[in-house]
Structure 1
């Protein structure tokens, strides 16, 4: 027979039998999961909970989810000022590194949660034979449950405090929540749901939450608000309410907090080459240009609707976006933050020194950019008639400024541009593509600004690891280059890229730009345009020849074969692009006539310096890649095929050149 509840040490030692400090020690000694119902009853005594509640937070957090009722009691009845300090401290102490990896063999969602396979369960009152399948989601890790439960407590505590300066408590709380969220690794979408509900609860926002994926019962229980009456603030300032200045500080704190959470979440979305970030670029292109979608392929738009890990990613960002709207974060506010020239103050200042005014509280620069890009993308993706917002920026100067401010700075070197998180690059490119779609080009202040803009987007097309984003960056670069009406400026940019760019794949793009410009100028139906364009004259080709068709003997024929082959392999795509441009120059009669190809060919030395050394190099490497050659270890079907392609194109160029006479 179980011992009567009156014999429980937590009952027997209740004050006045012991003082509060002694009773707290007894609770700590006897606190177990089995004793939680008894403690829950004990904590209904407001005087007791006011005196000891704040010291119980760190004891009860490890016992979640079973201790959630006790934590709610402390939030309702404890001294709110003291309890808030303990809750924020506990948030910072959560060690997410202790979360075990989901069990092997289980399907994982992107948030890190494991999804149990379908299993059968018996209907109540029936035999033990299974009758239907149910989908079971495992309980959340303890650390995530702690985060959610502590935010639920904060939702109660902040509404209880009555003071002249509530922003001082709010500043400390939001910094702790953001720091804890930043340290998390998995289940971030579950945590965002808790964050959104926390903000709505404290702010009194009534908008219903967006439909979300199924969550564990643990989470739902932790998020349920207590319906019991909350105690008053025992230290309340009854003489005065918060001033308008402090209210403005609170509003700005909430707004800044949401932009920082958005930044933290999106910049840490797992990298995916085919669905980077929210894939706004690809989904916008699919919406506006359905004819470009390859038939019978799965679109990225449908994947975001059908694949769970992409759907919950979208859902998390959508909830933060709606919350930003509820907090009245205007487009003008986020644009000002994203384009601010000065360094913004950090949000990690000493918590003992809270902000003195709303102006001291910055929105996140990157979070603001992501929010603005998301809003503009939504105006295209989710409206019956796609149309960018009326306040859509222009390429010049605003998008140019955003690229300069939000991507890797020049001081860090060109090699780092394009290595930013995919979601950030996708957002930057999205705005650029929308500017092109709706003809928001603007006018650069100078040719230098135009060239710098192209350099930024071209480097993205070269450096970014994601082929999806590289393609969008290349399209943006090429289209913006073509938008420049001055052919001299376009030629100068192409030359600068060929002459100075250290990235071979970007030089390949430059060859393509030159080829496109030349073909369009020579074969233009507008005779006046053909006559006036520098690309329809020998001047453009002559000025770029040393960079389009450089002398390669010193690189490919003089060094040892292994070193020469490394150079050859790195530059092969450029060599092939240049040869494929050279061939139509020689064989197309309009080009031969307008560009004076015969004279150019005789004086340029391209055959001796470029074509023949490439042919000899291919023969040299072909022999070295043989079974007994120096490059035998490098031999592969791909390597042999690449040499065959080069042999073919050099043979065609030699044959066409022989006919020039």
Structure 2
């Protein structure tokens, strides 16, 4: 390694050499942060930096403390040439992330990758903000689109990098709109464009008059980009909007003494920061003109394809109509408007939409043909879609037309309740599905939904829900003195074999098969046993003649034998053993009725 004083001398004196020779000198001597102040002095020569600035980007970006030198390069170098090198550096940054943690989820990827990546990303975005404001051309959007693609490819959904993105977009929007409202956050990222000295910017040597259509094109690019960032951030972090909304809508169902999710988000700094970051992104989009639930805006969202890739058009567009918002990001934006209104008391416009047809269409488009893959890969978007539905139902914005398919809508909700990776969000989807079922005005349709779940559903947890919802329908019919299918014995006759299936074959299973059967079916078996006890104890008038004996013979008695055998299997202990004992006790109580 060369001596420090020798390196500083070489950096200062070498500027007198030809440009190629000087770059060779810099490559040898610019290897440590200690020489950077001397280099920055030399770079104040605008003519020199104009010629060699773009060659310095990759050399400097890997050196700690190079931010000042790179800012000088961005202000004095040829903006078009330096921009290309910054984009290449972002591309290498994205490649470094992929190499380090190729198969890990984004939230873990941010932690596992090179710890210097966020700092370099922030520095490069500060350069971009300066460069794009310097470029004076007829079509600046042609430079902006590809830059934003490279930024997004290198972006990881962590607070520091998100704050840098917010700074970049605010700079690129030209501050033509009022500044964003201040929001509390522990993340404070220096904005080289905003906080630096703009008077130091060299003019664009190839300046042209800007086209009159450019404002709208650039605004649409920034809107689209910001919705993509919002989508990625929300899908990388559990925002839990829908379960938190349920706490607000149904405080009577909160468990006394148990910490609520709202309290957790207020008291936990990490969770609080999630809300803050999303709030900043939403405020940014508001600053860019996306700030309300207008009818045309809602229509443009649910008519768009959920599988659209907005970034695909960033290098090939002729009008603002060619540039699309991120469907997942826009759904998250809408969810946050509803959520922040009801949880934080924010002043947002009321939605011009209903569960039917608008939200139903959004739900269908989101789930598509691969519902499980979609929910698992985009859990934040699924939570957002669910939160919108909860908000609309709470506002009684249910049906705008007579064509409302409660059965299909209910089916979509149950897919979220089965596949979503977060337990609280699954529970919220299940509760909302129950609400939708009971909201269906036609009792025949409600019965068909329950029958379909009990007979055709492969998920024991949903079949258990169906049994519980059936019980709720019976109770409602009696309490409200209704005359419908659920007030007559025909409903029990129709569903008895689905609610109390034949268990005779289970008795003869070997230990391994029996244990597997229990793991797959215990939620439904416990719920069915509880329902049987409830039915024979409190609704005997609805039980068809001879049904109780038939249920004992095909369901409860063989299931007791199987459960007793299960309780003796090695490894069935703790909570599992307790559930088995509860099932046996409930089945015996059922038989005793």
Q: TM-score, normalised by structure 1?
A: 0.81
Q: Deviations over 1:48-74 (max 9, x none)?
A: 11111111111110113x221111111
- Do the aligned partners of 1:334 and 1:372 also contact (CA within 8 Å) in 2? no
Query: Partners in 2 of 1:304 and 1:572 — Cα distance?
Result: 33
- Superposed CA RMSD in Å reads 3.0
Query: Partners in 2 of 1:55 and 1:499 — Cα distance?
Result: 69
Query: Partners in 1 of 2:577 and 2:472 — Cα distance?
Result: 30
**Structure with bigger gyration radius:** 1
Q: Deviations over 1:107-135 (max 9, x none)?
A: xx999789xxxxxxxxxxxxxxxxxxxxx
Query: Partners in 1 of 2:401 and 2:191 — Cα distance?
Result: 56
Query: Partners in 1 of 2:111 and 2:116 — Cα distance?
Result: 13
Give 1:248's match in structure 2, choosing from 195, 216, 231.
Answer: 216
Q: How many Å apart are 1:393 and its aligned residue? A: 2.5
- Do the aligned partners of 1:54 and 1:83 also contact (CA within 8 Å) in 2? yes
Q: How many Å apart are 1:6 and its aligned residue? A: 11
Query: Partners in 1 of 2:252 and 2:313 — Cα distance?
Result: 55
- Do the aligned partners of 1:397 and 1:444 also contact (CA within 8 Å) in 2? yes
Identify the structure with the greater helix proportion: 2
Partner of 2:545: 598
Helix, strand or coil: the match of 1:439?
A: coil
Q: Deviations over 1:442-494 (max 9, x none)?
A: 157657x3211101112222333322112211111111111111111000010
Partner of 1:542: 493
Query: Partners in 2 of 1:169 and 1:599 — Cα distance?
Result: 79
Q: How many Å apart are 1:642 and its aligned residue? A: 2.9
Q: How many Å apart are 1:303 and its aligned residue? A: 2.4
> Does 2:29 align with 1:27?
no
Query: Partners in 2 of 1:613 and 1:308 — Cα distance?
Result: 53
Q: How many Å apart are 1:278 and its aligned residue? A: 2.2
Give 2:171's match in structure 1, choosing from 172, 197, 201.
Answer: 201
Partner of 1:642: 579
Q: How many Å apart are 1:337 and its aligned residue? A: 4.9
Query: Partners in 2 of 1:362 and 1:388 — Cα distance?
Result: 23
Partner of 1:382: 344
Q: How many Å apart are 1:83 and its aligned residue? A: 0.8
Q: TM-score, normalised by structure 2?
A: 0.90
Helix, strand or coil: the match of 1:244?
A: coil
Relative to structure 2, which stretch is displaced further, 415-424 or 325-334?
Answer: 415-424
Query: Partners in 2 of 1:493 and 1:7 — Cα distance?
Result: 79
> Does 2:447 align with 1:476?
no
> Does 2:182 align with 1:210?
yes
Relative to structure 1, the CA distance from residue 293 to residue 636 in structure 2 (aligned partners, 3 Å threshold; closer, same or farther) is closer
Give 2:205's match in structure 1, choosing from 234, 246, 256.
Answer: 234
Partner of 2:288: 327
Query: Partners in 2 of 1:260 and 1:441 — Cα distance?
Result: 29
Q: How many Å apart are 1:294 and its aligned residue? A: 2.9
**Map 1:24-103 → 2, pairs under 5 A:** 24-32=23-31, 33-64=33-64, 66-94=65-93, 96-97=96-97
Q: How many Å apart are 1:343 and its aligned residue? A: 6.3
- Do the aligned partners of 1:278 and 1:423 also contact (CA within 8 Å) in 2? yes
- Do the aligned partners of 1:99 and 1:141 also contact (CA within 8 Å) in 2? no
> Does 2:532 align with 1:558?
no
Q: How many Å apart are 1:223 and its aligned residue? A: 7.5
Residue segments in structure 1 that go unaligned for 5+ positions in a row: 102-108, 115-139, 270-276, 626-630, 657-661
Query: Partners in 2 of 1:398 and 1:3 — Cα distance?
Result: 67
> Does 2:479 align with 1:524?
yes
Partner of 2:149: 175
Relative to structure 2, which stretch is displaced further, 480-489 or 421-430?
Answer: 421-430
Give 1:302's match in structure 2, choosing from 255, 259, 263.
Answer: 263
Query: Partners in 2 of 1:639 and 1:377 — Cα distance?
Result: 38
Q: How many Å apart are 1:644 and its aligned residue? A: 2.4
- Do the aligned partners of 1:280 and 1:377 also contact (CA within 8 Å) in 2? yes
Q: How many Å apart are 1:356 and its aligned residue? A: 1.3
Relative to structure 1, the CA distance from residue 151 to residue 341 in structure 2 (aligned partners, 3 Å threshold; closer, same or farther) is closer
Q: How many Å apart are 1:12 and its aligned residue? A: 2.3
> Does 2:360 align with 1:400?
yes
Residue segments in structure 2 that go unaligned for 5+ positions in a row: 102-106
> Does 2:132 align with 1:158?
yes
Query: Partners in 2 of 1:61 and 1:26 — Cα distance?
Result: 17
Q: How many Å apart are 1:606 and its aligned residue? A: 1.9
Relative to structure 2, which stretch is displaced further, 454-463 or 493-502?
Answer: 454-463
- Do the aligned partners of 1:253 and 1:361 also contact (CA within 8 Å) in 2? yes
Relative to structure 1, the CA distance from residue 96 to residue 4 in structure 2 (aligned partners, 3 Å threshold; closer, same or farther) is closer
Q: Deviations over 1:540-562 (max 9, x none)?
A: 111111101111112x1233343
Q: How many Å apart are 1:84 and its aligned residue? A: 0.7
Aligned length: 578
Query: Partners in 2 of 1:40 and 1:144 — Cα distance?
Result: 23
Relative to structure 1, the CA distance from residue 153 to residue 357 in structure 2 (aligned partners, 3 Å threshold; closer, same or farther) is same
Partner of 2:392: 435
Give 1:582's match in structure 2, choosing from 526, 532, 536.
Answer: 532
Query: Partners in 2 of 1:544 and 1:6 — Cα distance?
Result: 87
Q: Deviations over 1:172-200 (max 9, x none)?
A: 1111111110xx37xx2111111111221
Relative to structure 1, the CA distance from residue 307 to residue 450 in structure 2 (aligned partners, 3 Å threshold; closer, same or farther) is same
- Do the aligned partners of 2:167 and 2:191 also contact (CA within 8 Å) in 1? no
Q: How many Å apart are 1:163 and its aligned residue? A: 0.8
**Map 1:617-632 → 2, pairs under 5 A:** 617-622=562-567, 625=568, 631-632=569-570
Partner of 1:419: 376
Relative to structure 1, the CA distance from residue 178 to residue 381 in structure 2 (aligned partners, 3 Å threshold; closer, same or farther) is same
- Do the aligned partners of 1:145 and 1:222 also contact (CA within 8 Å) in 2? no
- Do the aligned partners of 1:111 and 1:309 also contact (CA within 8 Å) in 2? no
Query: Partners in 1 of 2:316 and 2:247 — Cα distance?
Result: 47
Relative to structure 1, the CA distance from residue 518 to residue 600 in structure 2 (aligned partners, 3 Å threshold; closer, same or farther) is same
Relative to structure 1, the CA distance from residue 325 to residue 487 in structure 2 (aligned partners, 3 Å threshold; closer, same or farther) is same
Q: How many Å apart are 1:7 and its aligned residue? A: 8.2
Relative to structure 1, the CA distance from residue 221 to residue 342 in structure 2 (aligned partners, 3 Å threshold; closer, same or farther) is closer
